[in-house]
Amino acid sequence: MRSIQIIFLLSILFLFASCQKDDSTSTDTNITDINEIDPNGNGNNLPGGTVNNNSMVSLGRLLFWDPILSGEKDVACATCHHPDFGYADGRELPMGVGGQGLGPARIDAVNDDIEVGGRNTPTIINTAFNGISANGNIDPAQAPMFWDNRLRSLEAQALGPLLSFEEMRGHAFNENVALDSIVNRLSNIGQYNTLFTAAFGTNNSITSTNIGSAIAAFERTIIATDSPFDQFQAGNQNALTQAQIRGMDRFEDIGCDDCHSGPMFSDFELHVVGVPDNNLLATSDAGANGSYAFRTPTLRNLGETGPYFHNGVGGNLQETIQFYITARNFARGNGGGGGNGGGGNNGLNVNPNVNQNDIDNDVRNLQNFNNNDIQDIIAFIQALDDPGFDRTIPATVPSGLNPGGNID
């Protein structure tokens, strides 16, 4: 009788165990499937009321690659947003006007008074989704842009570098006449007149607003949403390795997703993390409104878009993630402050201009994690990479200049 009871109990335990949910292979139901979302907001509320179309995208691609938009005619948008570097540049800080070469190999070819740019070049991959909420809502007209969220919409962002002295404008013209000067240049090129008319439906349509709209239309086509994680979310239980699944779980348990949330793994909000200044810069970068706050970056395609943080001081993912332990401990009064750049054997130190009490609570409240956790989280972040984005480089541009500017 006793043996029958034991067998019965074991059977019940087996049935109970077999009916339990296997968390190691379940999708993350907290994250909306990015492939169910229209980056154009279903065509609604695009700035200027324009709708993405083939003619506008084709025009935008040419403008993106044409150095005619820069003051000295030597820099294009693609100079610092190149597909070889995940539409970033692989540098800590960008080198625009006066530079020669591509990516980390780019050098100052003229040795003038134009310095490197002040902030790390963000990728344009998936910027169509900037500002997307955790539940997948998106408003293209209010999409936050740049590391300090100072502009809204891709249309506005596209014109920003054209006005920047270091990035594209140079000495050719003053900022207040830069856009008008570029419009005049394009108006004198017959092919651009034809392309703008085809894209916008009227003659004399070369305006700064339409330049921004065309470039934005092109940028909205540069998306990468078929990563192993996306495949896992779609139901492919074999898309992630066990290390990546462990990393996904620890990512949530530790609290990384308090800021790196939603389909883009960013809340697109400003946070004070305390990243040290880059020693290449003469002055400290105080961030948005002098608060040392910067926007949460997306974690997608980090494999091609390093180095990391707003000024590129995070040389690799290990160093970058490790810094959050330092920042958390500093916020709790356990050291980690002082000093620019590297922090010796302990990696990066917290920016000495940031007060302990100013560190964001989401950093202060991070749970404990160790190097094994970091390795698993890195594996998970690698599962967010999708190399299948559009890498097309036009053979020529209407100005006749070298596509991409002085990058050879």
pLDDT tens across 194-234, in order? 999 999 999 999 999 999 999 999 999 999 999 999 999 99
Regions of the chain with pLDDT less than 70: 1-30, 41-52, 336-346
Cα separation, 157 vs 212, in Å, equals: 8
At 51 the pLDDT is 47
Mean pLDDT of the residues in the chain: 90
Chain centroid to Cα 43, Å, comes to 23
**Domains of the chain: which residue ranges?**
36-219, 256-366
Cα separation, 19 vs 11, in Å, equals: 12
Q: What is the 3-state secondary structure (H, E, C) of the chain?
A: CHHHHHHHHHHHHHHHHHHCCCHHHCCCCCCCCHHHCCCCHHHCCCHHHCCCCHHHHHHHHHHHHCHHHCCCCCECHHHHCEHHHCCECCCCCCCCCCEECCHHHCEECCCCCCCCCCCCCCCCCCHHHCCCCCCCCCCHHHCEECCCCCEECHHHHHHHHHHCHHHHHCCCCCHHHHHHHHHHHHHCCHHHHHHHHHHHCCCCCCCHHHHHHHHHHHHCCCCCCCCHHHHHHCCCCCCCCHHHHHHHHHHHHHCHHHCCCCCCCCCCCEEECCCCCCCCCCCCCCCHHHCCEEECCCCCCHHHHCCECCCCCECCHHHHHHHHHHHHHHHCCCCCECCCCECHHHCECECCCCCHHHCCHHHHCCCCCCHHHHHHHHHHHHCCCCCCCCCCCCCCCCCCCCCCECCC
Assess if CATH 3.40.50.300 describes domain 36-219. Answer: no
At 38 the pLDDT is 78
At a CB cut-off of 8 Å and minimum separation 6, what does 249 contact?
Answer: 23
Cα separation, 38 vs 342, in Å, equals: 41
Selection from 74, 24, 52 nearest residue 399 by Cα: 74
Predicted TM-score (pTM) of the model is 0.90
